[in-house]
Structure 1
Amino acid sequence: MTGAASQDLVDAVRLRLVESGAEPTPARVAAALRAQGRLLGDSTVLGVVEALRSELVGTGPLEPLLADPQVTDVLVTGPEEVWVDRGRGVERTEVRFPDAAAVRRLAQRLATAAGRRLDDARPWADARLPDGTRMHAVLPPVAVDSPCLSLRVGRTRAFRLSELIAAGTVPPGGDRLLRAVLAARLSYVISGGTGTGKTTLLSTLLGLVGRGERIVLAEDSAELRPDHPHVVRLEARPANQEGAGLVELRDLVRQALRMRPDRLVVGEVRGAEVTDLLAALNTGHEGGCGTVHANAAADVPARLEALGMTAGLDRAALHSQLAAALSLVVHLVRDRSGQRRIAEIHVLERDRDGMVHTVPAAFWDADGFTRERGWPRLRLLCERGGGAL
């Protein structure tokens, strides 16, 4: 049987099973084939069963890729364009879909499982799947050639600091500096581009927080999984099709403040919630942290300034709050080889005009962090809080 004929057969059986609402068991597939006047061998029936299960259960043909512990991202840009990232940049795989319609069906099924709408009227979706995988999908005509599907694997546990050192994310000896920052209860943000490992590093650092402390997480999509016994996780929610039920990240930050957090964490600062976070960190909530997209550590004040303006906070007020709220920026990069690492750590200072800028305190080096002109201030901050360097 040719590939086209085989796909026609699968399509015909799928339609009949969808109409009846039946699961694609071998017996039901055989019955559907007989109803069409087709008598085929056991191997053909089992092949149709496998093809249908691949479409109707889990993530279909992408399942083996997501099960690979080294895979962090699975990217589908077309039926014959399936890529993965194993920490060394994107690699093309041998996985194939029958056609663009099969990619569309998988994307829509995953979106439905996450409670999102994905169709011609709403041609994109961003959601977290029940297993923690982050999904993003775009349908034509917004995606020009084919439906595009991006899956970011949600790991069930956080990495240990020793594992990040072994992987090269933290330089040798860098764990002492990070532990001192946490012990001193300094407030910080982890910056970097998409896929640089911000969430991974933050989860690891939160796992080092004292066991007697209470961590409250506020996230757009629940991705942080710190290895800690006392974690409260809050997740934002989009509006339903009637436009009701919206829960924004800044709503979660406000609720978190009423939950007696020892450490208030915003998974990703991307909008007006920056004002609530800075206000919280200025009212005695030490050790707060979060992540933010930025090209470099030096760009973080300007990035937060832009976000604050979306909430109506003027520049002077934002910088005044920022100066008292945050102590340092940990910046991550991903080099051309795909290696994720802490490139630099900056402390924050306020100039004569009242504007906040960053000062380099430590730079990446293969043998350990190299000390820069902001190191004395970083050491002083840590020692004041009881974190010895």
Structure 2
Amino acid sequence: MERKTPLYDVHVAEGGKMVPFAGYLLPVQYGTGVIQEHMAVRQQAGLFDVSHMGEILFTGPTALDTLNHLLTNDYSGMPVNKVRYGVMCNAQGGTIDDLVVYKFGEEAYLAVVNASNREKDYAHMAQNLLPGTKAEDISDTVAQLALQGPKAPAILKSLLPEDQIPKGYYTALPRVEIQGIPCMISRTGYTGELGYEIYTANEDAPKLWKILREAGEAFGLIPCGLGARDTLRLEAAMPLYGHEMDETVTPLEAGLDFGVKLQKAEFIGKDALVAAGAPQRVRVGLEVTGRGIVREHQDVFLGQEKIGQTTSGTHCPYLGKAVAMALLDAKHAKEGTELEVEVRGRRIGAKIVPLPFYKRG
């Protein structure tokens, strides 16, 4: 049985089409439709319910050492109120999950994990804690709203003084009040657009949604669902767990090497990544040159040779073209290479292009 986020009734009242996703009932779209929601985020602003995400609090004198043991990135020397991306690997170097870490103090960190992996992630973390670290899954007490789009800063400025809005990308302010509601605001997102993620207590989420909707009305803000979230992240070439990565795909194969610090003394999976050497397959971008739309799990061919498989694909509303991401043999992954993707028994032309497909201007 799917769970409901604290905003379930709000979505129903707003006309959201509710579907099961990662164990929750969430809006896939509203009456406006996916294309209009996508364009609103690119041109004005959109508001998403991402309360299904998991939040795990790490505290104690060895919390930093535990995170450096669990995750591929290096969290040493990280400033307070900074956010840093990372990947959690198994011993074979496969990806258990990708996540972000917030630093609140020398002995207090928050890891935000993918909803579908929450229980698996927490079990792995709990099994691999160093003595002196406590990990607590606080997901069921936390709601998260994502305010995304070029008008997002103006919307927040209408509600808050400027010194209570995080300025730098991947920074956060953990103690802010929006009309009396305690919040944490971080300048992060999953759309490739300027935006914020706002965390609050479950019981305050409906009121916060209403405040943001009313403040955003003059700026063209509309509510957005899972459909637009997926087309936006794909346009920005942001990987999605279960598509571009899973426990059989390493973060280096998925193109996440910016979050992998092999010079770090140790982390779970490091030995396997080092032993494997340069990745034999890599994540690439494909622009569809033929007629049709490419989806995930479709075979990619160079002539008669199968060289990989797509991981995500769709028609991107803002770019006005069909694109996909794929995991391909590294030796055939040169930009500009003309390929074919097999879609329901027929081949569609595509070529390898640089990632991301869309970058905020």
TM-score (norm 2): 0.26
TM-score (norm 1): 0.24
Higher RCO by CA contacts (8 Å cutoff, separation 6 or greater): 2
Instruction: Looking at secondary structure, tell me which structure has more helix per residue.
Output: 1
Greater Rg over alpha carbons, structure: 1
